[in-house]
Structure 1
Amino acid sequence: MIKNILLPSKCAFLLFYLNSLGLPFTLQAQSNTDDYNLTAAMQPVSEENKFYDNDYFNWGSTIIKGDDGKYHLFYDQMPRKHGFFSWLTDGIVSRAVSDSPTGPWKKVQEVLKARGGNFWDQYTVHCTKAYKFNGKYYLYYMSTNSGNMDLTPEQLEEIRHKPWKHDNLRGMLRLNQRIGVAVADHIEGPWKRFHRPIFEPQLPIANQSNNVSVTKRPDGGYLMIIRGDQPDQPFNKIVRMQAVLLADNPIGPWKMQPKPVVINYNSEDPEVWYDTKRKRYYNLYHAFGYMGMITSVDGLNWERAENYKVADKAYKTTDGKIVPVHRYERMGIYMENGKPLVMTAGILTKENGVIDTHSLFIPLKQD
């Protein structure tokens, strides 16, 4: 389980005690720098801070500032005609442009779709995160395939609308989820894809990989957090957990680290970044009811942030309203000049059984 951070006074006493005994200790250094309060930074939103599509469900998104001075949004979409849960079969990633990182946004391009055929990314492109590293653009995404089985249109409809079971077709596509990356020299593309995902699930996670997030390390390497399944669970139960991988290059090879980021605690949608002011990593995720944040000095050993609970399933508007929602997920943090400037999120509402979604862009007060 994630443990609460030690208070500074307790840390100081423990360090003094261990030193007096001549014993080694592994407490994270600089733990007193953990003072970022994302909740206090979140500002009310206006209608311009929402992004909606009549033909698609909009979901998670990431922002890149282009060489043209405009802001480019890479975001996940699912056709409304196939339903929200077609993210596993029919997801695409699109690009929108704005003069501001909080919108309003205008869709300009459909970027990637499933490749079909015998490719590893046969079905869906979803759970995307886009980054610019060293002059190139990297689009990380989840996809899946049906192996040697050719799915009929009727079977695809079944997967789109029937709930997951460990032994049905949706369960099969779920187990085949993997993370891949596409690379481009220009923000408009073209995007080069690869014949294989960038890694296969391995301990400490099992079964599949989804929900990817990447940040540059202060030493120049790269750190990835992904979500998979906890391995010690029965087939008919899912406990989502998070793990960390390291690489010297954004494409990899990515090396899985043995210590989980989050375990024994159902959570997903990690969003990791390095805070240069505080000299530590933060990782934001949703825990099926609220949003939480953890922190690490080295990226390998994680604990609850001092301001761990970030938000319930509701947001504030500029006219003073509190808007409760059914889902508040797929968070992203847009950094500018090394500081968090905007938090993005996928919002799902459910009224009288009818699902709807929009993307949300929350301005963040600068500390």
Structure 2
Amino acid sequence: MTKLNAAYIFFIFGILIPQCALSQGSGLDFSKVLPDSFNKKNIIEEEDYNVWGTNIIKGKDDKFHAIYSRWPKSRGHHGWVTHSEIAHAVSDELSGPYVFKNLVLAPRGNQYWDGDCTHNPHVLEYEGKYYLYHMGNRGSGYWDNTPEDRMPMMKDKEWWVNRNHQRIGLAVTDDLNGEWERFDQPLVDIDETKRMVSTPVVSIRPDGKFLMVYKYVVEQEGVHGGRVIHSTALSSTPTGPFVDTGIPFIETKESTFALDDHVEWFQDGQYYCMGKDHDGSLTSFGKGTMVLYVSDERGMDWQLAKQPLVLKAGKLLWSDGTVTLCQRTSDMPKLYFEKGIPKALIIAVLPKGSEFSFSLVIPFYNNDL
């Protein structure tokens, strides 16, 4: 079995962090709990696969379960849209090491809407069940007849076939070690205004409704389509149907792709969104930086948090004194929660000049928030 290496290392640096350091009254301040450098033992990786978008959940068996995207390194970074699958690994500790256990959503043939690719999982636990929202797509079958080291690229026409068939799906289980029920129809499909839909995150509002935030590409002539827009939808149950609110999410008028990878949650009377400033139009911190937004309990009116910076893009500093320059520094953020309080941040990283990605677990300074 493949071992996924991670270690739960606390970074103290001789500073006493006060209790409730993450909560600053008017919002959360991640600068109070995130270290300046990271330990390489906190990396989650596989020898033969790229790792991306990792959720960590403590199961009913008291073990830690990682639900994540992976695809063969031989297919390169852009193979995420053609060859990704959703996998499951287990550890006795949040720190790891995680041991691969099984595929959660394996390829099942392009006769299915999600038969070639499943990606960007987001796991929600609710009333004893686990709900896995994800992207799925299918291609023409072209990639089935290519060598294993043939790297899909955006210049390939067939890459866009898979990209434009992205839909949002759901799988459900009551046991993280058991089988997941997956469905033959998307949970959220396209319409005449949407070329594709992807990257769902579902959270529970205080009123009991389920808020989904997802992105779509505006239907427009040409293979690329139009702007990338994030939308919100509501449902009274975790299985839908999710109905679009018609209320815009975080965006800027001048940008065609402002927000990217994101996660939302409700805590201490406020909604939060941690998301990537994709093109640098949201803040002055630079493109690719992870920033924090806040909203009221409806999750419909968003503004930058009082302390918006989470992780600045460009490089990772390691505790051994080395530096990794990054093409993607902190994508697909996920939070590990205990009793509704975030205890660790998990991000996806693509080093500069590399085709190989990994996830990184970042435990917070204060473990008693």
* Partner residue, 2:236: 248
Residue 272 in 1 paired to residue 275 in 2?
no
Structure 2 runs not aligned, ≥5 long: 1-23, 279-287
Q: TM-score, normalised by structure 1?
A: 0.81
* Partner residue, 2:27: 35
Task: Report the residue type matching 1:271 in the other structure.
Answer: V
Cα deviation for residue 145 of structure 1 reads 2.0
Deviations 1:299-342 (A, max 9, x none): 11212222223221233433465543221211111111221111
Report the Cα distance in structure 1 between the residues aligned to 2:147 and 2:300, rounded to whole angstroms. Answer: 40
Task: Report the residue type matching 1:41 in the other structure.
Answer: V
Q: Are the counterparts in 2 of residues 131 and 139 from structure 1 also a CA contact under 8 Å?
A: yes
* Partner residue, 1:10: none
Pair 1:235–1:340, CA change in 2 (3 A): same
Higher Rg of the two aligned structures = 1
Greater CA drift, 38-47 or 130-139: 38-47
Greater CA drift, 357-366 or 338-347: 357-366
Q: Pairwise mapping of residues 72-151 of structure 1 onto structure 2 (< 5 A)? A: 72-146=65-139, 149-151=140-142
Cα deviation for residue 127 of structure 1 reads 0.8
Cα deviation for residue 180 of structure 1 reads 0.3
Pair 1:152–1:124, CA change in 2 (3 A): closer
Give the secondary-structure state (helix, strand or coil) at the position aligned to 1:325. strand
- 2:174 maps to which of 154, 177, 185: 185
- 1:281 maps to which of 259, 271, 275: 271
Cα deviation for residue 344 of structure 1 reads 0.4
Report the Cα distance in structure 2 between the residues aligned to 1:362 and 1:103, rounded to whole angstroms. Answer: 12
Pair 1:290–1:158, CA change in 2 (3 A): same
Report the Cα distance in structure 1 between the residues aligned to 2:152 and 2:222, rounded to whole angstroms. Answer: 24
Q: Pairwise mapping of residues 204-283 of structure 1 onto structure 2 (< 5 A)? A: 206-230=194-218, 236=224, 239-264=227-252, 265=255, 266=257, 267-275=259-267, 277=268, 279-283=269-273
Task: Report the residue type matching 2:262 in the other structure.
Answer: P
* Partner residue, 1:64: 57
Report the Cα distance in structure 2 between the residues aligned to 1:138 and 1:111, rounded to whole angstroms. Answer: 12
Q: Are the counterparts in 2 of residues 103 and 361 from structure 1 also a CA contact under 8 Å?
A: no
Cα deviation for residue 365 of structure 1 reads 3.2
Identity of aligned residues (%): 27
Pair 1:33–1:344, CA change in 2 (3 A): same
Report the Cα distance in structure 1 between the residues aligned to 2:233 and 2:150, rounded to whole angstroms. Answer: 31
Pair 1:150–1:326, CA change in 2 (3 A): closer
Cα deviation for residue 106 of structure 1 reads 2.1
Give the secondary-structure state (helix, strand or coil) at the position aligned to 1:356. coil
Q: TM-score, normalised by structure 2?
A: 0.81
Cα deviation for residue 114 of structure 1 reads 2.1
Pair 1:226–1:34, CA change in 2 (3 A): farther
Structure 1 runs not aligned, ≥5 long: 1-31
Q: Are the counterparts in 1 of residues 351 and 357 from structure 2 also a CA contact under 8 Å?
A: yes
Which structure has more helix as a fraction of its residues?
1
Deviations 1:25-44 (A, max 9, x none): xxxxxxx9532112332134
Q: Are the counterparts in 1 of residues 217 and 228 from structure 2 also a CA contact under 8 Å?
A: yes
Report the Cα distance in structure 2 between the residues aligned to 1:309 and 1:230, rounded to whole angstroms. Answer: 29
Q: Are the counterparts in 1 of residues 79 and 153 from structure 2 also a CA contact under 8 Å?
A: no
Q: Are the counterparts in 2 of residues 49 and 104 from structure 1 also a CA contact under 8 Å?
A: no
Deviations 1:91-112 (A, max 9, x none): 1111122233233322222221
Cα deviation for residue 228 of structure 1 reads 1.4
Cα deviation for residue 154 of structure 1 reads 4.6
Give the secondary-structure state (helix, strand or coil) at the position aligned to 2:38. coil
Report the Cα distance in structure 1 between the residues aligned to 2:155 and 2:335, rounded to whole angstroms. Answer: 30
* Partner residue, 1:364: 364
- 1:161 maps to which of 152, 158, 161: 152
Q: Are the counterparts in 2 of residues 102 and 342 from structure 1 also a CA contact under 8 Å?
A: no
Pair 1:249–1:135, CA change in 2 (3 A): same
Deviations 1:209-267 (A, max 9, x none): 11111111112221111111256897656542211111111110111110121233422
Number of equivalenced pairs? 327
Report the Cα distance in structure 2 between the residues aligned to 1:362 and 1:110, rounded to whole angstroms. Answer: 25
Task: Report the residue type matching 1:270 in the other structure.
Answer: H
Task: Report the residue type matching 2:85 in the other structure.
Answer: I
Cα deviation for residue 345 of structure 1 reads 0.7
CA RMSD, aligned part only? 2.6
Pair 1:162–1:357, CA change in 2 (3 A): closer
